[in-house]
Amino acid sequence: MSGPMRRIETDLLVVGGGPAGLEAARAAAEAGIAVDLVDAGFRPGGQYWMQDPTGAAPLSVQGEEGAAAIAKSQASGVAFHAGAEVFAAFPDRRVLANTADGPIEFVPRAIIVATGAHDRAMPFPGWTLPGVMTPGAGQRLAKLGGASAGERVVLAGSGPFLLAVAETLVKLGKPPVALIEARHTDLAIIAHLARHPGRWREAARLLVAARAIPERRSGWIVTEAIGDERVTAIRIAPVDRSGRIDRDRSETIGGIDALLVGWGFRPMIELTALLRCRHEHDPALGGWHCITDRASGRTSVEGVYAAGEVTGIAGAVPARLSGRLAGLSAAADLGADTAGDESERASLGEQLARARAFSDGLGRLYAPPADLATLAQDDTIVCRCEEITRAEIASAFAAGTDAVAGAKIWTRAGMGRCQGRICGAAIADIAAAETGITPREAGFNPPRIPLRPVPLSAVLEATRDGQE
């Protein structure tokens, strides 16, 4: 049974304890505002600054950075609520979270949403086999449990995050056996990097990790995962510079036991969407993202701010900067004495613009290939919760709907336990491939309360007073 509900009145509620949320919370707390920070993990840090749940010393540079940031936030007086999953928010800005000790109702004057991102998975034949997971999941396993996804891991997909995972696996003494990057290595990447000397050190570090991988391919894509009980082999094919896959030149890589494949990240917009903030679609920013005023982090809804990946995929550096900006401007809007902050905010704004220019450029360079939505075959399961195949979804598009919402009503795709978080973007891409509309036009399934499955007893406890 659920424990009793706790109600916490506060000035500012920060949702998400990654780089953006931690910086936002600290900035606001240092300005003299009462700040509560809620995070779903056992310990704050988020995916990027992930901390060992036992409190053991961090494995990575990022872990160390994160430990320092958490300590600073704590010293500034931020009240942390770890292991608390936000499942509802109402127009009056009340937020409900569930914890092992029962639900908490937050009654804040303002909210900063810093919920981060999740992996962008794309269905392909064999993707539901054990041993196939996203790079983010592989990274979590390594950072949280110190375990590799397998003994002979293949990293695949696209984007620099693959190299970050490679680095972690190398540190664990389990360097991946192959790296299959869809993008061709070319001068454009080098030229882009050349314009941002501040990122050279990080790039050099990642290249060292890449060199530990015996087989590296660029301009290749995994078209199938093969195995009975578990993935044991993959089919790969060349992909040309316009994103077309040449299946006639397919090859097989065998003797593997894990495949980490992903196409970058998507902003986790459930909470901002539930709060009715305005969103836009840009493939280079991970698709749908929350629109903010870059100088303040304000969303289109009064009293709601957003920072970090939820405002468009950009990585940890812009996340920290946008978090700090949102924290400072929320504090100012809440009446904190922020005289003298203007010059800092202006400087942060300039740094953020530079950092975003770098990441937006990377986002465009590592845009998923055009043929990605053709990987799933007719019998490939697209919605894993409800086990809906591509052919079933395509039949919905043929029968009279071209939207993600239509596919859901027609086939139940996206109606299961994950509520379309895993398959929603893929369905939009398939809609685009089948009907000629854009993924933006295909839309997304608006999130509804509860944002995550929560026991009925906890929801009842959290709504018992029924106040509107």
Partner 1 sequence: MGMKPGAGMKADAVVVGAGVVGAAVARALAVAGRRVVIIEQGVPGGAVSGASLACIGTHMMDEDELPLLKWCCDEWAAFAEAAPDFEYSRCGQLRFLKQESERRSADEWIGIETAAGLSPTLLDPEAVRRIEPELTGPIHAATWSPNSAVVNPFLAVRRLLEAAQAARATLVSRNPATALRVVGGRIAGVETADGPIEAGIVVIAGGPWTAKLAATAGVQLPIVPRKAQCLATVSVPRSIRTVVGACKAEGGVDAGYTQIQQAMSGQILFNTVLEGGVTAAGSPDDIPEVDRAFIRDSIATLLFLFPKFAEIDLLRSWVRYEAVTPDDRFLTGPAGPDGLFVAAGDGGTGFVRSLGMARIIADLVAGRESPFRRDLYDPARFDRRAAA
The site for partner 1 (CB under 8 A) is made up of 1, 90-91, 274, 386, 397-403, 405-406, 409-410, 412, 415-417, 419, 435, 446, 448-450, 453-457, 459-460, 463-464, 466-468
| Minimum CB distance to partner 1 smaller for 34 or for 383 | 383
- Give SS3 for 30: helix
Structure tokens at 1: 């049974």
Shortest approach of partner 1 to residue 128 CB, angstroms? 18
- Give SS3 for 245: strand
Shortest approach of partner 1 to residue 345 CB, angstroms? 33
| Minimum CB distance to partner 1 smaller for 198 or for 455 | 455
Task: Give ∠ CA 442-155-185 in degrees, rounded to 5.
Answer: 80
| Minimum CB distance to partner 1 smaller for 106 or for 397 | 397
* Alpha-carbon dihedral angle through residues 200, 201, 203, 207, given to the nearest 10 degrees: 130
Shortest approach of partner 1 to residue 463 CB, angstroms? 4
27 φ/ψ sector (left φ>0, alpha ψ -120 to 50, else beta): alpha
Residue 176: Cβ within 10 Å count: 31
Shortest approach of partner 1 to residue 246 CB, angstroms? 30
| Minimum CB distance to partner 1 smaller for 227 or for 406 | 406
Shortest approach of partner 1 to residue 277 CB, angstroms? 14
Instruction: Identify residue 278 by its one-letter amino acid code.
Output: R
Structure tokens at 78: 């931020």
Structure tokens at 80: 């942390």
**Cβ contacts of 322 within 8 Å, gap of 6 or more:** 20, 292, 294, 297, 307, 308, 311, 352
| Minimum CB distance to partner 1 smaller for 187 or for 399 | 399
Instruction: Identify residue 226 by its one-letter amino acid code.
Output: I
Shortest approach of partner 1 to residue 39 CB, angstroms? 21
Shortest approach of partner 1 to residue 446 CB, angstroms? 8
Distance CA(218)–CA(231), nearest Å, equals 22
Cis status, amide bond into 123, omega within 30 of 0: no
| Minimum CB distance to partner 1 smaller for 209 or for 275 | 275
| Minimum CB distance to partner 1 smaller for 198 or for 453 | 453
Shortest approach of partner 1 to residue 405 CB, angstroms? 6
Q: Which residues pair with 97 in a beta bridge?
A: 86, 104
| Minimum CB distance to partner 1 smaller for 314 or for 403 | 403
Shortest approach of partner 1 to residue 392 CB, angstroms? 13
Shortest approach of partner 1 to residue 149 CB, angstroms? 27
**Helix H or strand E encompassing 267:** strand 265-267
Dihedrals phi, psi of 408, to nearest 5 degrees: -65, -50
Instruction: Identify residue 154 by its one-letter amino acid code.
Output: V
DSSP letter at 156? E
**Cβ contacts of 10 within 8 Å, gap of 6 or more:** 34, 35, 36, 79, 106, 107, 108, 109
| Minimum CB distance to partner 1 smaller for 57 or for 456 | 456
| Minimum CB distance to partner 1 smaller for 45 or for 414 | 414
Q: Which residues pair with 287 in a beta bridge?
A: 282
